[in-house]
Amino acid sequence: MATVSLEGVSKTYPNGVRAVSGLDLEIADGEFMVLVGPSGCGKTTALRMVAGLEEISEGTIRVGDRVVNELSPRERDVAMVFQNYALYPHMTVAENIGFALRLAKMPKGEVRSKVEEAAAILGLTEHLDRKPSQLSGGQRQRVAMGRAIVREPAVFLMDEPLSNLDAKLRVQMRTEIARIQRRVNVATIYVTHDQTEAMTMGDRVAVLSAGTLQQCDVPQSLYDRPANLFVAAFIGSPAMNLYEGILSDGADSVRLGEQCLSLPPGLTSLEAWRGSPVVVGVRPENLHDAAGQGEPAPGRALEGDVELVEALGSERLVHFRLEASRLHGVGVAGGAGSERDAADLGRGELGAAAASVGVARVEPTSSIRGGERARFAVDVERLHLFDPSSGQAIGRH
């Protein structure tokens, strides 16, 4: 077992495209690190550089105490699990799992022992004599993991291993993979474009955009304290509502259109933005139906015209129109939307519309209906502020 270190790692292709730029990451022994971001952000390229399947242009990669820049994939002591499983259709489950061990001329008895041990961990004991065509998608994915586990590598690398599964099976396999990784206790780098997958599986999550690391932290900190607009919009579903506001001269409130929200005490370093535009972020779950909570205190409510209410059983999503400019690309459930939207968010580009739609996640008992004007109580203690020029978070507690 070993740590993995990436120090200033970059990848530039011959055509000049810079897929990864100055990536610094340290994955501890036994840690489950998830690389997440939209398509084309460089996460798979970073994984392939660790595996030795892509040459690095700059920087250093270490596995344990060894610099592996010039080592072949076989010499790096890593095992990779691909999204397409890459199983041999003519071999049984046992033969697929033990293939690399037989290739290494390991004694048959030892191969059988290791295969049976891996099968027990993965819940495949009863399927060892079956062919891949006789297995479900989830079972085939576990066979691919078993092939990696029996090698007892220093590092596991997983490239979107659940992308070929249906939605229900993906949820089940998220739990399975996390459980298996904790049992074998090997440093793991897991690539996905699904932010929900990243947040539920990773010990830490590294968010990438355009080949650059945006933030790396434990999932809850990414959610509670996004470092910039890209992370704020990408992490969370529905996405954070992001609006252009004007900070008061006293830096104790912010104006959104004709409405005003108080700012909590304890925000720092806001002097440069007094009387100037800022980006205000509020997550849907920090907006509540004011009718069910009593009249909010001044500066702790917003009003908007309701366009649509989605009843989801355990909650309602209220889509409302607020008279305040909103950032381009925001409003797509599940994240920042397209890669272009995400790039716009990272640069802090502001929308020109006089009114824009927001989302509130309210209680299932809420009586808010479409076509009405609704009043929302705001958890102002959980407001986020960003510099509209750089996109960086400001005024953090």
Q: Over the stretch 328-339, which tens digit does the pLDDT of each residue have?
A: 543 323 333 333
**Distance separating alpha carbons of residues 262 and 106, to the nearest angstrom:** 68
Domain residue spans of the chain: 4-224, 229-394
- The encoded tokens of residue 355 equal 């009114």
- Residue 294: pLDDT band (50, 70, 90) is confident
Q: Over the stretch 179-232, which tens digit does the pLDDT of each residue have?
A: 889 988 999 999 999 999 999 999 999 999 999 999 999 999 999 999 999 999
Q: Between 220 and 325, whose confidence is greater?
A: 220
Q: Over the stretch 300-324, which tens digit does the pLDDT of each residue have?
A: 999 999 999 999 999 999 999 988 7
Percentage of residues of the chain with pLDDT beyond 90: 68
Tell me the average pLDDT of the chain: 88
**Distance separating alpha carbons of residues 86 and 262, to the nearest angstrom:** 56
> What Å distances lie between residue 195 and 24, 205, 235, CA to CA?
21, 9, 6
* Cis ω for the linkage preceding 238 (within 30 of 0): yes
**Distance separating alpha carbons of residues 29 and 273, to the nearest angstrom:** 43
How far, in whole angstroms, is CA 53 from its chain's centroid?
24
With b for 16 or more beta-carbon neighbours within 10 A and e for fewer, the 176-204 pattern comes to: bbbebbeebebbbbbbbbbbbbbbebbbb
Amino acid identity, residue 349? E
pLDDT of residue 334: 33
Domain 4-224 maps to which CATH number in 1.20.1260.10, 3.40.50.300, 3.30.750.24, 3.50.30.60?
3.40.50.300
Average pLDDT over residues 134-142: 88
pLDDT of residue 327: 60
Q: Where does the chain have alpha helices with state H?
A: 43-51, 93-97, 99-103, 108-122, 137-149, 167-184, 195-201, 219-224, 229-234, 339-347
The answer to whether residues 323 and 329 touch, using CB atoms and an 8 Å cutoff, is: no
pLDDT of residue 397: 57
Smallest Cα–Cα separation from 157: which of 86, 55, 81? 81
pLDDT of residue 326: 66
**Distance separating alpha carbons of residues 366 and 387, to the nearest angstrom:** 34
pLDDT of residue 85: 76
Average pLDDT over residues 65-75: 93
> What Å distances lie between residue 132 and 85, 87, 163, 221, CA to CA?
10, 7, 18, 40
**Distance separating alpha carbons of residues 227 and 233, to the nearest angstrom:** 11
**Distance separating alpha carbons of residues 216 and 190, to the nearest angstrom:** 14
pTM for the model stands at: 0.87
Percentage of residues of the chain with pLDDT beyond 70: 92
Average pLDDT over residues 374-383: 95
The answer to whether residues 89 and 81 touch, using CB atoms and an 8 Å cutoff, is: no
357, pLDDT greater than 90:
no
Average pLDDT over residues 31-46: 95
Average pLDDT over residues 72-92: 89
Which of 18-22, 57-61, 99-103, 212-216 shows the lowest per-residue confidence on average (mean pLDDT)? 99-103
